[in-house]
Structure 1
Amino acid sequence: MSDELEPIEPDEAVQMYLHERRPEVASSTLQSHEYRLKHLLRWCQQEDVDNLNELSGRDLHRYKLWRQEDGDLTKASLKTQMDTVRVFVRFCESIDAVVPDLHEKVLSPTLSGSDNQRDVMLESERAEEILGHLRRFEYASLEHILLRLLWRTGVRAGGVRALDVDDYDSDEERLKVQHREATPLKNKDDGERYIALTTETCTVVEDWLAYERPDVIDDEGREPLLATKQGRPHISTVRDIVYRWTRPCQYGSGCPHDRDPDECEAEKHGHASKCPSSVSSHAVRRGAITHFLTEDVPEKVVSDRMNVSQEVLDQHYDRRSEEVKVEQRREYLDEM
């Protein structure tokens, strides 16, 4: 242990960290970090760690194993948890609470290639962080309305891109998703449906239409709901926005990979997908579906809203743990 370290209790360090981040991030981001770090505080209490000066790389590895077992976490969930711990430990270095460079010993699972791609999703906590940041700093922007519609509706990226201004019904608070030759849906006519929106989402849509949406038409003479100055955005533009805004550094969470922004390849135009933490629009859809199911929305309702069969939903989209499923069944049966 370095003689220059100043003793500090874990809880005090966490409070200092949250106070430091409060002006920099949206409240949803701060709440998510506080939630994740509460687990670290539980572990410290359980292991009698009352001074962070004592924390070592081996301790952090033990915490990682404990957190995975304690929470029955997926690989992606554990990565999110440990990424936040790394950012916190790096802050602790700056206040002489832990040994220098300790954050480099906080190891997160690596999600790359085809490894568990069917399990990769945007988790609820991260989605709320992103939307909270957009609401505070980029309200009613193209990025805000795109990410909000993808998360709140679970529609495929191509389906959101296909929407026209006239597909939004402010009186009924809903969208009409339609299959058209120039903007086809994956399931064609079978993909057509109405999607109910919350009042809050409608407010964002209406503010976008009133104040931010460029007054343009596409090559078909239609008015795209999502629009750039050039017209309807290309699907690659939609996907790139998702990759950019799921990078933690984009919404104020700091880089969990300890990269230099000036040298990070994911900072280059069109290379946001190179960030290990960024996810695709399909991962956003998978996360939205899992979120709806976790909130006890019936599978049939989710199936109809997201335009996916219940069989495919079970096989490829539902990423709830078996522990969550059994507790939901228990609550349902207890109410009968």
Structure 2
Amino acid sequence: MTHITSNGAPDPARPVTVIGAGISGLACARALRASGTPVRVLDRGRRVGGRMATRTVGGRPVDIGAAYLTAPDDDGFADIVGGWTERGLAREWTDTFAVATASGVSGTTTGPMRYAAPAGLRSLVADLAAGLEVVSDRVVSAVAPGSVDGASVADVVLAMPAPQARRLLPDDSPFAPVLDARAFEPVIAVVLCWDERRWAADLHGAFVDGDPDVSFIADDGDRRGDGAAVLVVHTTAERARRHLAAPDGAIAPAVAATRRILGIDRDPDAVFAHRWTFARPADNGDEPYLWHDGIGVCGDAWGGPTAVRTAWSSGDALGRAIGAGAATPGR
């Protein structure tokens, strides 16, 4: 549990350690800080963001991880997104996507408003990190109650995909059966760049059903608002599994499928592929987080359908519970 000094206050020398600087970990850290609980965030990457990743391609940001945000009115995440929108960090993108099969676009579907970020979704995670102690390039190898890599700590939060969290815990961890059962699917994101747009102006994005290679296509120029002729294609999990060792192998099938589905008349001028071994949970638990003996697990596999808002809500709920001394053992 969080170490308390003799006067009843949290000990700043022993902050809660959050491992993972994606949106769930930073939501947890912000909730802890709001409660007056000292917190430190460790991340193995050079920059915050996790799977809300943005890569600079051709001098502009391209989202290669999560494709968008949604923020239902009855969700606490709506206030966060509203603040980002008011400050120009996020923007309303679209509520309509194309629906496609392997043979082409067949119609459209309307759903909730999707939000994007002019500077890329990673910029929103960076905004959450402002004012927090974040240690980058910090690889963690082992976590046990009260210990990170053998060093004594207070509570520990693992804000990461379940398979990665499982690797850090001992074999006898009570979380082991739960984490082992939480499967994740891979995706390879393929960025395709042309000299000019060669697809319908109102594409926005497309859900693709029944194609062996492609599951989603995002018009990144439309998403970003600058009109750039850039598409980001998410492969199917099966196609990704074939190329995890060498993700560039997914480029040719993704290009062929995208050209066929959207009727594009030639290959792109530039391409880039990024591997996500643990892109999204195959199923989700009903509980908003896991907690036992001073260790918590949070992320998009807990408490709702796979979405950015689920990751934020999971981390926020766990941070609030720890800060209030109300994290429930066994959850």
TM-score (norm 1): 0.25
Could you say which structure has the higher helix fraction? 1
Could you say which structure has the higher strand fraction? 2
RCO higher in structure (CA 8 A, sep ≥6): 2
